[in-house]
Amino acid sequence: MAQLTHLPIPNVVVGTRPGLIPVETYAARIAAAQELFDAHEIDALIVYGDRESFADLCYLTGLDPRFEEAIFVLQSTGLGTLLLGNENLHQEPASLLSTKIVLWQALSPAGQKRDQPASLPAILREAGVEPGIRVGVAGGKAMNVGYVEDIQHAIMAPAYLVDTLRQLVGSTGDVVNAQALFTDPRAGLRTSSTAEEIVRFEYAASITAQSVQRAMAAIAVGVPEYVVADELRDAGLPHSCHAMMQFGPRQGLYSATGNTASLGDAFTIAFGLRGGLTCRAGAVAASADDLTGENANTFDPLIRNYFDVVSTWWESVQVDRTTGAVFEDVDRVRDETVFEFSLNPGHHLHLEEWTNSAFEAGSDVPLRSGSLLQCDVIPVVPRKNQYVNIEDGIALADGELRTELSAGFPEFWERIERRREFLRNNIGVNVHESVLPLSDIALWHAPYALNPTQALTR
């Protein structure tokens, strides 16, 4: 049973900033994608990217199209063809790969120069899209049964691209959704990470943890949301989602405003960088005595049962365990009279905040070594101005990957061991040896923000 315990605020240690990803790594990722063509029954892969759906393209080529769009055409051999707009034409590291780069100005923002017209069908033919082949398209989501009639042919890329591809392959070919190649929880390229990738993501997670911890320290009665949000500093890293900060009943995906904190208000702080997200939510109060109305009697049971659920999640996850078993463990602990699950209790994360999730009742999907996971238990309660949240990321690593990490990245491994010890000795949570906490404040939370050394523990 969860309790509130005097616990010093953890010291967040940020490791050495990782360098740029070598061009050779992108070439290896492209080769890994090509090795999956047979399993996905495709002859060519089209990866579409834009501001929101950037991760597959960025993973393969290093190109984040930002305010343009981009199209990558990959055959079973070679390094492919990359269609870019005006401003991405010479962006590294994509420009350093031996990938053919083609200017297609329709990918540029509206109104920019269009002085070098080029036919999309002609470009795609030159890149190897021909009659009779089966083309897979990624850069979005796979669709679910029950929402469209034909999930295999439901594709999130723009109609102009999909229509052109279907015209080129003709009646003897096919164009299908190939998103699973990247984000399928069982075998997707981006649902399992290498040792180097995990270390890179740990740096981002440390920055988000440090920022959220700093933001929580700025909470005080009368302080505007934007002052607290100003403590969310990104160290120059790209964001995986917008920063969130709210006081009062207006909780959710909102950005900070000039709204000020009142005693007893709910608060939420969430900050995500590519590879890590930290979220904390609770009350602008020193104890339950500062709460009024229903909250005075219901907030304490909420935070205690919520902590029982998230700490169970941490002890349940491990390599080769099924996501359905984890769901069953946490749902068994949840008091249904206190809160409901808003979403899946946990998900994969990567360059984007939410890559995929198989955490649902009855799922037989095993958790893979190399997985980046977010403990993301969002409670639904019937009362306004009441909220709690504790979100941190982990990596899963089998014995071979742990050996590689400890030998190749000793400072990283020292931080992992220290965090596991903190969880065991201070929070009272014993995680499996395959669980690598990526944050120094993993599971630490002072739900009464005005009493920062009173934290939830077992």
pLDDT of 49-58, one tens digit each?
Answer: 999 999 999 9
CA-nearest of 378, 373, 340 to 358 is 373
What are the backbone dihedrals phi and psi of residue 277, each rounded to the nearest 5 degrees, phi first?
Answer: -145, 140
Angle formed by the axes of helices 195-217 and 399-408, to 10°?
A: 70
Residue 96 confidence (pLDDT): 86
Phi-psi category of residue 340: left, alpha or beta, with phi > 0 → left and psi -120 to 50 → alpha: beta
Looking at every residue in the chain, the average pLDDT score rounds to 97
Q: What is the pLDDT of residues 243-256, one digit of tens each?
A: 999 999 998 899 99
Does residue 92 surpass a pLDDT of 90?
no
Residue 124: burial class (beta carbons within 10 Å; 0-12, 13-18, 19+): buried
* Other C-beta atoms lying within 10 Å of the C-beta of residue 240: 21
> Which residues, 6+ apart, have CB-to-CB distance to 161 below 8 Å?
46, 48, 71, 120, 137
- With cut-offs at 50, 70 and 90, classify the pLDDT of residue 95: confident
Quickly name the fold that domain 37-183 has.
Creatine Amidinohydrolase; Chain A, domain 1 (3.40.350)
Contact 271, 208 (CB under 8 A): yes
Residue 93 confidence (pLDDT): 84
Does residue 155 surpass a pLDDT of 90?
yes
> Which residues, 6+ apart, have CB-to-CB distance to 247 below 8 Å?
225, 259, 260, 261, 262, 265, 266, 267, 284
Does residue 390 surpass a pLDDT of 90?
yes
DSSP state of 183: H
CA-nearest of 40, 42, 104, 41 to 72 is 104
Q: Where are the domains of the chain?
A: 37-183, 189-457
Please tell me the distance from the alpha carbon of residue 207 to that of residue 278, in angstroms, as a whole number. Answer: 9
- With cut-offs at 50, 70 and 90, classify the pLDDT of residue 94: confident
The structure tokens listed for 406 are: 């400890």
Q: Alpha carbon 129 to chain centroid distance?
A: 32
Please name the helix (run of DSSP H) or strand (run of DSSP E) that holds residue 126, with its range, or none. helix 120-126
Assigned superfamily of 189-457: Creatinase/methionine aminopeptidase superfamily (3.90.230.10)
Please tell me the distance from the alpha carbon of residue 381 to that of residue 385, in angstroms, as a whole number. Answer: 10
Contact 162, 319 (CB under 8 A): no
- With cut-offs at 50, 70 and 90, classify the pLDDT of residue 1: confident
pLDDT (average), residues 379-388: 95
The structure tokens listed for 366 are: 């095993």
Please tell me the distance from the alpha carbon of residue 144 to that of residue 372, in angstroms, as a whole number. Answer: 23
Residue 386 is which amino acid? Q
Q: What is the pLDDT of residues 58-81, one digit of tens each?
A: 999 999 999 999 999 999 999 999
According to DSSP, the residues that pair with 347 across neighbouring strands are 374
Residue 145 confidence (pLDDT): 95
Residue 451 confidence (pLDDT): 98
Q: What is the pLDDT of residues 284-302, one digit of tens each?
A: 999 999 999 999 999 999 9
Please tell me the distance from the alpha carbon of residue 381 to that of residue 266, in angstroms, as a whole number. Answer: 12
Per CATH, 37-183 and 189-457 having the same topology is answered: no
